[in-house]
Amino acid sequence: MKWRLVALLGSLVPGLARAQDPMARAFDLERRGSYLQAAEIYRTVLQDHPAEVAALLGLERALTPVNRNPEMLPAVRAALATPQPGATVYGIAVRVYASANLLDSLGTLAEAWHRAAPGDETPYREWAAAALQHRDRPMARRAYQLGRDRLGKPEALAAEIAQLAVVEEDWSTAVREWARAVRQLPGYRSSAVTTLSAAPERARADMLSALSGMDGIDVARIAVDLRTLWGDPLGGFAALMAVLPSAVPQALDQLQSFLEQVRGGSTPPYLLAQARTLEAVAERWANPAQRGRFRLEAARAFVGAGEPGDARKVLAALAQDTAGNPAVALGATATLIELLAQEGKPDEAARELDRYRATLTVDDYQRLRRLVALRWALSGSGDRAEALIAADSSVDALELKGRIRLYAGDLTGTGEFWKQAGPFAGGRAAATARTAILAAIQPIEADSLPELGAAFRQLDLGDSLAAARGMMRVARTLGADAGRPELLLLAGRLFAAHGARDSAEAVLRAAVEPEAPATAAAALLELGRLLLGSERRPEAIAVLEQMILDYPASALLPEARRVLDQARNAVPRT
């Protein structure tokens, strides 16, 4: 019984103490959402202790949700009147003055703060932040500049000034200040890259030039990252190699970081950049096994990038590293077969594949078999290709079977196989491309169009111009509601991608047919982009406006509006 009593008293004592502590009570009230009551208690505390930081902060917390921060002014003034108020009090004061729209007083306050804490950037940062909150950029700039002058450090507040410059689209200042900031604190690099990457194309060259004239690996990495982001990974790789430290660990660190960045892309330049980076990484590894793995990966990337020569070179170098590493040797074999197939030697590749069948993993074997089949199909031996993968029931095989049928012009068969393969076979890029082809051939009523199949084959062989022409020829034979606009749109895009702007324009204009409104809208959008790329802005604007007016229900309308804004140089900076 006694111990129960003790326990009860023990449980009550903290509660009583808590009930008596006004700060704790105010905090409880605040937590329960009774902000005004909490604020009253904080005010009571501040009457006795004006510089009580916890109470000031509590008062600010309590008044902020109810949007009554200006009511803190008397308390803040009282706190400032105390001797040596402290940085926190100044910080609160700046916020409260800003909320009360007393921007004129912020300078004085910041100066006082600066006197209390000389050498601290915070007063000017807070002042500028308050000014920016009220969209007063000149005041913010003045605050930063004054801060820099008062502190006597040219690199002070560089990141803030750089962000302000980005907002004001003063790209040269932004580059200069970011460089200063990154030199001071390398961690700023990602922020610098993110903000600078928004620069318009016309300013990019100057920015890169400015960056190249600056010292420091971290500054140079900004340039590397920006190049990569702006679609020039090889330029980025070159820039990186130019500034790569000689010390291996640092160099490897930089290379790995760049590799991660370029892995995001799947287009040939990115694959090539990946390959070269992997090669560079491999060269810096002393461990043969590890080096072999990187080289193998580099070789695969070269193959993927369509650079068989480089791939062979890497594979040759790899031969030195494979001793004692069967996995790498196996990978090299598979890559070699892949290379053979890509070089247009499917028969040879098939033989090698057959020879190494027992050693290859099932996954690799099936993948290479499909690759060989694809190459046969591309070379016009569709039957052999089909026979090779006849027993393969995987979705990738189904996808390939559909593609073989496509090359043969069997549109129905293509649709059927691809329907079975589903939307996920072969990765996202392949699936999206497949979807595009399916969308193009669906309206065609004919079951078989060998010429169209040939055009697609040429497209996959890389001859997009011939493919586009083939598609145009086929399109002429089709009706407006039977696939003609879709094939014309596809051809127009191929022409545009190939740089044949006139042909592209003509074909895209021809694709605008009322029987296929969605295709017509897409064609107009492509045309608008094409004209914009040719700096024919008025025409682009007219075309895009036509698209918006004629096809208000199109799914591409938002994109068209965006491009139209670009054409009018009015891209919203959201």
Partner 1 sequence: MSQTGRLLLSILAGLRRLAWLSWAAGLAGGLAAIFGLSAWAARLGWLGQPAWVLGTWALGTALAAGLSGLMWRRLGELSPPWLAGAIGARGFRGGTLRGLLGPAAAGTSLELLAVADLQQAEALARSESELLAPIRAGFHRRALRSGSWLIGAVLLLISARPLGGPPARLWRPGEAWAATVAPVTIRLSATTIDRGGSVEATVTAAGHRHAILWVRGPGEPWRGQGLGLDSLGRATTVLGPLENDLFLRLTSGGRSSDTLQVRVRMPVFLGSLTVTARYPRYLALEDEPLPTDGDTIVVPEGTRLETVGEATTELLDAAWVAGSARIELPVSGGRFHGGLTPAATALWSLALSARSGEVLAGDPVRLPVVLVPDSVPTVEVPVPGSDAIIPLTLRVPLVIDAADDHGLTRVVVESRRISRLGFADPPVQEAVPLPDDSRSRVLLPYDLDLNLRNLLPGDTVRFTVLAADNAPRAHQSRSTEYVLRLPSLAEVRQAARATSAEVGQRLDSITEASRRLERQTEDLSRERVRAGQKPGGPDQSLSFENAKRAESVAEAQAELLRQAEQVRQTLEQLQQSADAAGLHDPAWQQRLQEIQQELARALTPELRQRLQELQQALQELDPERSREALERLAEAQARLREALERSRELFKRAAVEGDLANLTAEARDLAADQKRWLEQLAREDSLRAAAEEAALGERADSLGASLDRLSAELESPPDQRPRKLQQSAERARSAARRMQRASQAARQGKQSEAAREGQQAEEQLEPLGDELKSEREELQQSWRQEVMRGLDQAMGDVSRLAERQLRLAETLRRGDTSPGARSEEGAVEEGVERLLETMKQLAGKHALVSQQTSVALAAARDAMRQAREALATAAPNTREAGKQAGEAIDALNAAAFGLLRSKGAVEGAGSGSGLQEAMEQMAQLAQQQGQLGQQSGGLLPQMGQGGPSQDQLRALGARQRALAEQLERLRAGGQIPGAADMADEAADLARRMEAAQLDRQTVERQERLFRRMLDAGRTLQGQEQDEQQERQSTTAAADSIRLPPVLRARRDAEAGFQLPRWDELQALTPEERRRVLEYFRRLGEGAGERNSAP
Residue from 439, 433, 507 nearest 471 by CA: 507
Beta pairing partners, 7: none
Closer to partner 1 by Cβ: residue 238 or 482: 482
Q: Interface with partner 1 by CB under 8 A: which range of 123-131, 289-297, 314-322, 555-563?
A: 555-563
- Does 572 interact with partner 1 (rule: CB under 8 A)? yes
Residue from 41, 101, 47, 46 nearest 69 by CA: 101
Of these, 443, 453, 470, 492, which contacts partner 1 (CB under 8 A)?
443
* Cα 226 from Cα 194, distance rounded (Å): 9
* Cα 253 from Cα 314, distance rounded (Å): 22
- Does 7 interact with partner 1 (rule: CB under 8 A)? no
Closer to partner 1 by Cβ: residue 146 or 389: 389
* Cα 254 from Cα 189, distance rounded (Å): 13
**Assigned token pair, 74:** 């008397």
Of these, 44, 47, 82, 432, which contacts partner 1 (CB under 8 A)?
432
Closer to partner 1 by Cβ: residue 213 or 552: 552
Q: How many CB atoms lie within 10 A of CB 393?
A: 9
* Cα 227 from Cα 199, distance rounded (Å): 12
User: Is the Cβ–Cβ distance between 495 and 529 less than 8 Å?
Assistant: no
CB of 13 to partner 1, least distance (A): 29
CB of 392 to partner 1, least distance (A): 8
Beta pairing partners, 448: 410
Of these, 440, 467, 475, 508, which contacts partner 1 (CB under 8 A)?
440
Residue 410's φ and ψ, nearest 5 degrees, are: -85, 90
Q: How many CB atoms lie within 10 A of CB 502?
A: 10
* Cα 18 from Cα 382, distance rounded (Å): 84
Q: Interface with partner 1 by CB under 8 A: which range of 203-211, 325-333, 454-462, 557-565?
A: 557-565
* Cα 406 from Cα 378, distance rounded (Å): 11
CB of 107 to partner 1, least distance (A): 27
Taking residues 457 to 486 in sequence order and writing x for each that binds partner 1 by CB under 8 A, - otherwise, the string is ------------------------x----x
Of these, 215, 363, 447, 451, which contacts partner 1 (CB under 8 A)?
363
CB of 99 to partner 1, least distance (A): 19
Q: How many residues bind partner 1 (CB under 8 A)?
A: 66
Element (H, E) at 214: none
Closer to partner 1 by Cβ: residue 47 or 442: 442
Residue from 125, 66, 62 nearest 90 by CA: 125
Of these, 10, 65, 306, 533, which contacts partner 1 (CB under 8 A)?
65
Closer to partner 1 by Cβ: residue 181 or 556: 556
Taking residues 40 to 59 in sequence order and writing x for each that binds partner 1 by CB under 8 A, - otherwise, the string is --------------------
Q: Interface with partner 1 by CB under 8 A: which range of 11-19, 135-143, 318-326, 431-439?
A: 431-439
- Does 225 interact with partner 1 (rule: CB under 8 A)? yes
Residue that the structure tokens 């109810």 belong to: 66
Of these, 425, 467, 524, 544, which contacts partner 1 (CB under 8 A)?
425
**Assigned token pair, 300:** 């695969």
Closer to partner 1 by Cβ: residue 285 or 356: 356
- Applying the rule CB under 8 A, the residues between 497 and 536 that interact with partner 1 are 516-519, 522
Closer to partner 1 by Cβ: residue 46 or 523: 523
Q: Is 431 left (phi over 0), alpha (psi -120 to 50) or beta?
A: alpha
CB of 399 to partner 1, least distance (A): 9
Closer to partner 1 by Cβ: residue 16 or 66: 66
Angle CA 547–562–208, to nearest 5: 135
Residues shown for the chain: 574
Torsion of CA 422, 425, 430, 436, to 10 degrees: 0
Taking residues 240 to 279 in sequence order and writing x for each that binds partner 1 by CB under 8 A, - otherwise, the string is ---------------------xx-xxxx------------
Closer to partner 1 by Cβ: residue 112 or 395: 395
Torsion of CA 443, 444, 446, 447, to 10 degrees: -70
- Applying the rule CB under 8 A, the residues between 366 and 385 that interact with partner 1 are none
Q: Interface with partner 1 by CB under 8 A: which range of 155-163, 237-245, 387-395, 494-502?
A: 387-395
Taking residues 187 to 216 in sequence order and writing x for each that binds partner 1 by CB under 8 A, - otherwise, the string is ---x--xx--xx------------------
* Cα 420 from Cα 415, distance rounded (Å): 9
Q: Which amino acid is at 138?
A: P
Residue from 485, 492, 490, 493 nearest 512 by CA: 485
- Applying the rule CB under 8 A, the residues between 13 and 32 that interact with partner 1 are 32
Residue that the structure tokens 């070789």 belong to: 299
Of these, 395, 466, 541, 542, which contacts partner 1 (CB under 8 A)?
395
* Cα 412 from Cα 432, distance rounded (Å): 19
CB of 394 to partner 1, least distance (A): 4
CB of 54 to partner 1, least distance (A): 22
Of these, 1, 247, 553, 570, which contacts partner 1 (CB under 8 A)?
553
C-alpha distances out from residue 115 to 121, 129, 150, Å: 12, 19, 10
Beta pairing partners, 410: 448
Of these, 290, 420, 534, 546, which contacts partner 1 (CB under 8 A)?
420
Q: Which amino acid is at 167?
A: V
User: Would you tell me which residues interact with partner 1 (CB under 8 A)?
Assistant: 32-34, 65, 190, 193-194, 197-198, 225, 228-229, 261-262, 264-267, 361-363, 393-395, 398, 415, 418-425, 428-429, 431-432, 434-436, 438-440, 442-443, 481, 486, 516-519, 522, 553-559, 561-562, 571-574
